[in-house]
Amino acid sequence: GDVYKRQVFTQSGLDDTATGTVVTINSADYEFTDLPYNVWADEGLTFTYSYQDVVLSSTAGKRFKLVGVSGPTSPFTVTGPVTVTGNYKIQYQVTFDQTGLDSSATGTVVTFNGTPLDYGCLPVSQWLNEGTTVTYSYESIVSSTTQGKRFSLSSVTGPTSPFTVDGPKTIIGNYLTQYY
């Protein structure tokens, strides 16, 4: 008789906000609610699969990033029971922006995790792993290319630096125009 082997495709790190395809197995798409997907397969059958690099979330500013797959690499031939797991990390969108500056603003406005950003770079959004520590500082004075004009930081809206990424965040440096 035929030997049947149980093949399991599953995931770690996703939650019930995950939307869309998580894994494609032999050209069929499977979503979070379909997993774990169990199939009994004849010995010698070949499985081809791929996990999505990014799985979207129904929560704005949240997504899941593939950090690795455990189990046999695709494609593989059934020789016994196998479990394949796509491992995901939660990422949140962190956005830096400003108010009060205009196109005459010159030089660094905000330094984010060691990277200086000028007026032309803002707003900037980046996907960061949950639990990441973010440090930033807005310049207290931003120069202007217009003679006798500068911008002074009046306040910062959002979490103070440093903060730990535990959800989507927007940080805004609010500037006032000063004239000499």
Q: What is the pLDDT of residues 15-45, one digit of tens each?
A: 999 999 999 999 999 999 999 999 999 889 9
Check: CB of residue 11 under 8 Å from CB of residue 34.
Answer: no
Q: Which two tokens stand for residue 70?
A: 């455990």
Q: How far apart are CA 48 and CA 178, in angstroms?
A: 63
Q: How far apart are CA 156 and CA 140, in angstroms?
A: 10
Between vectors from CA 174 to CA 170 and to CA 175, what angle results, nearest 5°? 150
Portion of the chain with pLDDT greater than 90, in percent: 96
pLDDT, residue 94, reads 98
Given pLDDT bands bounded at 50, 70 and 90, which one contains residue 57? very high
Average pLDDT score over residue span 74-87:
96
Average pLDDT score over residue span 127-152:
97
Residue 141 contacts by C-beta under 8 Å, 6 or more apart in sequence?
150, 151, 152, 153
Which residue is listed with tokens 């949240």?
62
| In the predicted structure, residue 121 carries a pLDDT above the cut 70 | yes
Task: Provide the pairing of β-strand 28-31 with 21-25.
Answer: antiparallel
pLDDT, residue 2, reads 56
pLDDT, residue 108, reads 97
pLDDT, residue 71, reads 97
DSSP of the chain, one letter per residue? -PPEEEEEEEEES--TTEESEEEEETTEEEEGGGPSEEEEEETT-EE-EEE-SEEEESSTTEEEEEEEEESSPSSEE-SS-EEEEEEEEEEEEEEEEEES--TTEESEEEEETTEEEEGGG-SEEEEEETT-EE-EEE-SEEEESSTTEEEEEEEEESPPSSEE-SS-EEEEEEEEEEE-
